[in-house]
Amino acid sequence: MKNLTRLVCMTGLLLAATHAFAADPAANVKCEMKFSMKGWSAIYKRASGTGTVTCSNGQTANVKLEARGGGLTAGKSSIENGHGDFSKVKDIEEIFGAYADAEAHAGAVKSSGARAMTKGEVSLGLSGTGRGWDLGIAFGKFRITRQ
């Protein structure tokens, strides 16, 4: 489990490092997200949840989260007290839309994890603790919309 979490974290760091060189110099707003999600997987993966995004320029938004994808995966889980960090943006509107998502996961009863995803120039790193059980590798989309 620790090795899997490290692998996902390293992927996120590499993604963030490559993004840092291509970042728009006008993007100086830092946004964070607090969220919770529940989902299941049996080859097809589906999860949904809600959250709140808060930005350094005072903008906030209640958001709806959806993760859809497939792969070699099975399980049922929930994430409570999730935290997301976005790369710097010009405006909160840039965080909405579909992010490319790749994930390796494993957990039983209580677990923690991290994942990284990107949408054009905007990157998002997620972390959190949860309950349930899951095992597998999945690819898909992670979508953020206004609630």
Condensed to tens digits (0 to 9), the pLDDT of residues 2-21 reads: 444 444 444 454 444 444 44
pTM for the model stands at 0.77
pLDDT of residue 106: 63
pLDDT of residue 10: 45
| Of residues 52 and 42, more confidently modeled | 52
* Among 24-38, 65-79, 90-104, the least confident range: 65-79
Domain region containing 75: 2-146
HEC readout, the chain: CHHHHHHHHHHHHHHHHHHHHHCCCCCCECEEEEEEEEEEEEEEEEEEEEEEEEECCCCEEEEEEEEEEEEEEEEEEEEEEEEEEECCECCHHHHCEEEEEEEEEEEEEEEEEEEEEEECCEEEEEEEEEEEEEEEEEEEEEEEEEC
pLDDT band at 60 (very low <50, low <70, confident <90, very high): very high
| pLDDT surpassing 70 at residue 43 | yes
State the total domains in the chain: 1
